[in-house]
Amino acid sequence: MTEAAVTPAIEGWFTTGADPALVASQCTTCSSVFFPPTTGFCRNPACPGEDFEATELSRRGTVWSYTDAQYQPPAPYIPATEPYVPFALAAVELPEGIVVLGQLAEGYGVDDVRVGREVEVVVETLYTDDSGERTIWRWKPVVEMGEEADQ
Amino acid sequence: MHPWGKWGRNFVSYGVHAARQALADSDVSWEDVDLVVGGETVRNGYGGYVAGATFAQALGWNGARVATSYAACATGAQALDTARARILAGLSEVALVVGADTTPKGFLAPNAGERWDDPDWLRFRLLGMTNPGYFALYARRRMDLYGATPEDFAAVKVKNARHGLENPNARYRKEVSTEDVLNSAVVSDPLHLLDICATSDGAAAVVLTSMDYARRHGIASPVRVRAISTVTPTFPNTVIDMPLLSTDPANAVPPEQTFKESIGAAAYEEAGIEPGDVSLAEVYDLSTALELDWVEDLALCKRGEAEHLLRAGDTTIGGRIPVNPSGGLACFGEAVPAQALAQVCEVTWQLRGQAAGRQVEDAKVGITANQGLFGHGSSVILST
């Protein structure tokens, strides 16, 4: 029996090593970074650029806002569990000046974050399909020095 | 208009009902209409994609020019803008603008099929991010930044429910208490079920004519369209917009206004009117908290002060600047291609003094505002 594969739910949007990071496209002409990764034409209206290089975004950012999904979202969302277990979401401002949405890491809810709270990227299982576990980036609150690590 | 509700009938029947009402209301005969503009509905098959022609055929082909507009929630305003542009260019004289929808139950979900390059599909697949999820992000930010409370959000619903009690086109005509809102289920924290607008069936229609035609027709003081803003965002758009997973990078110089601020600002500029001149506003309260955002986006108060206006009763009918005297989406629910036109209908009735049971006294200038997916938004200014 072969071991079930663990692969990203979407290819090329994030790295999966020990220190995972989101992968953006950086315009080689004006240096603007775009996430999700893009090809074709730079969206900066002042830039004629058409070439991009993959670049890793900062792993840490601050919470712009946050919420949760107490009802199961409709398809194409694939629930990870039956019955459905609510999860939380955050929009996170990265040092690159880009705000990126993501679910909060497993076990964290809206009470664990505030606007301005520091979080970092982790990679966790989103759902399991025929090809095995499919992973996604998530935001995990950073526990500050001196804070009780009672998670 | 055709009353909002869940009637379960074909959208064409609502649209024709609203169109005939608008023609009767303006005493314009269908034969006089030389331009039909339809608001496209994307959930009702091919007839919805060519809504302008669908309504024209249903009313009986009369040889009019035809156009169909789609701009998500701003569809109706963009349709009106098309009509206005042809009239101002002297190419048309009498336009009939119609939007109608039949909606499915529950969350608005993307169309079927696997689309790995469509952000509207990916946000559900990868993040489980629903429309209320976005509304909740904006609501929570108001709480953490400006000290808004769930009670404030509930107060918006209580106010709008009262405003809509006598509106014959509203779907929900029932008093709602703060407790009702706070005791309803949380959908996306901090928003409760009663903070979030429903999806509805409904239709709205507007007859727009040249000033010349109106005068010949014996209308001495018609309600006038002073501005229609349908601006797109300016790069970098640094406030996350439904259905996107991220913002533009702010490393370029961010524009002075957010996208939503720019929608209203363009309307004020086109109309040559100041926010202080406005008698009433119809804004897109997809959630209760969004109404508070809009009050600030339209510069009716400073950023972070909308709760003060609400608590002081300024945005209630009888207050300084009534917001959503129709009852808003709180009382209507959303019928996408009809909604921006419904806002225009309400402002028109208010300016004519015909808004029975919800009349804003001495209304002279009204403004609408809405925002939809993929960089669409609108603001319409009407005056007596």
Task: Tell me the C-alpha distance between B296 and B347, whole Å.
Answer: 19
Question: Which pLDDT value is given to residue B254?
Answer: 77
Q: Among residues B104, B137, B167, which one ends one of the domains?
A: B104
Let me know whether B56 and B158 are in one domain.
no
How much is the ipTM here?
0.94
By C-alpha distance, the chain A residue nearest B131 is A73
Q: Is the peptide bond before A141 cis (omega within 30 degrees of 0)?
A: no
Residues of chain A positioned with their CB less than 8 A from the CB of B141 = 64-65, 115
A52-56 sheet: strands from edge to edge = A33-34, A23-27, A52-56
Tell me how close the Cα of A82 comes to any Cα of chain B, in angstroms: 15
Is A116's CB within 8 Å of B136's CB?
no
For residues B132-143, average pLDDT: 97
A65 φ, ψ to 5°? -170, 175
Q: Over the stretch B10-58, which tens digit does the pLDDT of each residue have?
A: 999 999 999 999 999 999 999 999 999 999 999 899 999 999 999 999 9
Instruction: Report if residue B202 sits inside a domain.
Output: no
Tell me how close the Cα of B349 comes to any Cα of chain A, in angstroms: 38
Instruction: Report if residue B213 sits inside a domain.
Output: no
Domain span holding position B48:
2-104
Tell me how close the Cα of B135 comes to any Cα of chain A, in angstroms: 9
By C-alpha distance, the chain B residue nearest A57 is B249
**Quick check: A122 and A138 in contact, CB under 8 A?**
yes
Instruction: Report if residue B110 sits inside a domain.
Output: no
Let me know whether B83 and B125 are in one domain.
no
Let me know whether B31 and B153 are in one domain.
no
Helical (H) or strand (E) element with B370:
strand B365-372
**CATH-assigned architecture of domain A58-141:** Beta Barrel (2.40)
Question: Which pLDDT value is given to residue B348?
Answer: 98
**Amino acid in position A73:** P
Q: State yes or no: pLDDT of A3 exceeds 70.
A: no
Spacing of C-alpha B131 from chain mean position = 16
Tell me which of B77-81, B109-113, B116-120 is least confident. Answer: B109-113
Is A70's CB within 8 Å of B187's CB?
yes
Signed CA dihedral, B269, B271, B275, B276: sign only:
positive
> Which residue, B72, B69, B40, B43, is CA-closest to B244?
B72
Instruction: Report if residue B205 sits inside a domain.
Output: no
How many folded domains does chain B comprise? 2
Q: State yes or no: pLDDT of A2 exceeds 60.
A: no
Residues of chain A positioned with their CB less than 8 A from the CB of B249 = 32-34, 96-98
Q: B84-92: which pairs have CB atoms within 8 A and are 24 or more residues apart?
A: B84/B208, B84/B225, B84/B228, B86/B35, B87/B35, B87/B208, B87/B209, B87/B210, B90/B210, B92/B34, B92/B35, B92/B65
Residues of chain A positioned with their CB less than 8 A from the CB of B140 = 65-67, 110, 115
Let me know whether B31 and B88 are in one domain.
yes
* CATH number of residue B290's parent domain: 3.40.47.10
Q: Over the stretch B296-330, which tens digit does the pLDDT of each residue have?
A: 999 999 999 999 999 999 999 999 999 999 999 99
On whether any CB of chain B is under 8 Å from the CB of A33, the answer is yes
Question: Which pLDDT value is given to residue A148?
Answer: 54
On whether any CB of chain B is under 8 Å from the CB of A99, the answer is yes
Going through chain A in order, the beta strands assigned E by DSSP cover 6-8, 23-27, 33-34, 52-56, 60-69, 87-93, 99-104, 118-129, 132-141
Task: Tell me the C-alpha distance between B153 and B145, whole Å.
Answer: 15
Q: Domain ranges in chain A?
A: 58-141
Question: Which pLDDT value is given to residue A146?
Answer: 60
Beta carbons within 8 Å of B93's beta carbon, 6+ residues apart: B34, B87, B209, B210, B212, B213
Q: Among residues B104, B133, B167, which one ends one of the domains?
A: B104
Q: Residue A83 CB: number of other CB atoms within 10 A? A: 6
Tell me how close the Cα of A127 comes to any Cα of chain B, in angstroms: 10
Let me know whether B28 and B90 are in one domain.
yes
Signed CA dihedral, A54, A59, A62, A67: sign only:
positive
Spacing of C-alpha B245 from chain mean position = 24
Q: Over the stretch A98-129, which tens digit does the pLDDT of each residue have?
A: 999 999 999 999 999 999 999 999 999 999 99
Instruction: Report if residue B266 sits inside a domain.
Output: yes
Let me know whether B277 and B146 are in one domain.
yes
Let me know whether B185 and B243 are in one domain.
yes
Residue B235 has its nearest CB partner, among A36, A44, A116, at A44
Let me know whether B20 and B43 are in one domain.
yes
Let me know whether B128 and B175 are in one domain.
yes
Tell me how close the Cα of A45 comes to any Cα of chain B, in angstroms: 7
In DSSP notation, B234-284 reads: -SS--S--TT-SBPPPTTSPPPSS-HHHHHHHHHHHHHT--GGG-SEEEE-
Structure tokens at B205: 């229609």
Let me know whether B254 and B294 are in one domain.
yes
Question: Which pLDDT value is given to residue B111?
Answer: 74
Mean pLDDT rounded to a whole number for chain B: 96
For the packed helices B259-271 and B288-297, what is the interaxial angle rounded to 10 degrees? 50
Let me know whether B126 and B229 are in one domain.
yes
Q: Over the stretch A124-145, which tens digit does the pLDDT of each residue have?
A: 999 999 889 999 999 999 987 6
Q: Among residues B71, B104, B137, which one ends one of the domains?
A: B104
On whether any CB of chain B is under 8 Å from the CB of A84, the answer is no
Task: Tell me the C-alpha distance between B224 and B89, whole Å.
Answer: 16
CA end-to-end span of chain A, whole Å?
A: 36
* Model confidence band, residue A151 (pLDDT cutoffs 50, 70, 90): very low
Residues of chain A positioned with their CB less than 8 A from the CB of B137 = 64-67, 89, 91
Determine if residue B304 is left, alpha or beta; phi over 0 gives left, psi from -120 to 50 gives alpha, anything else beta: left
Question: Which pLDDT value is given to residue A1?
Answer: 44
For residues A48-67, average pLDDT: 98
Q: State yes or no: pLDDT of B253 exceeds 80.
A: no
Residue B140 has its nearest CB partner, among A44, A67, A116, at A67
For residues A29-34, average pLDDT: 95
Let me know whether B96 and B146 are in one domain.
no
User: DSSP H helical segments within B96-225, as ranges?
Assistant: 119-122, 131-146, 150-163, 178-183, 211-216
User: Maximum Cα–Cα distance for chain A, whole Å?
Assistant: 55
Q: Which of helix, strand or coil describes residue B207?
A: strand
Q: Over the stretch B361-373, which tens digit does the pLDDT of each residue have?
A: 999 999 999 998 8
Instruction: Report if residue B273 sits inside a domain.
Output: yes
∠ Cα B201 B205 B207 (to 5°): 180
Spacing of C-alpha B100 from chain mean position = 13
Structure tokens at A131: 């090809």
Task: Tell me the C-alpha distance between A78 and A74, whole Å.
Answer: 8
Stated pTM of the model: 0.95
In DSSP notation, B320-344 reads: SS-B-TT-HHHHH-B-HHHHHHHHH
Task: Tell me the C-alpha distance between A95 and A109, whole Å.
Answer: 24
Structure tokens at A34: 């775009």
* Model confidence band, residue B106 (pLDDT cutoffs 50, 70, 90): low
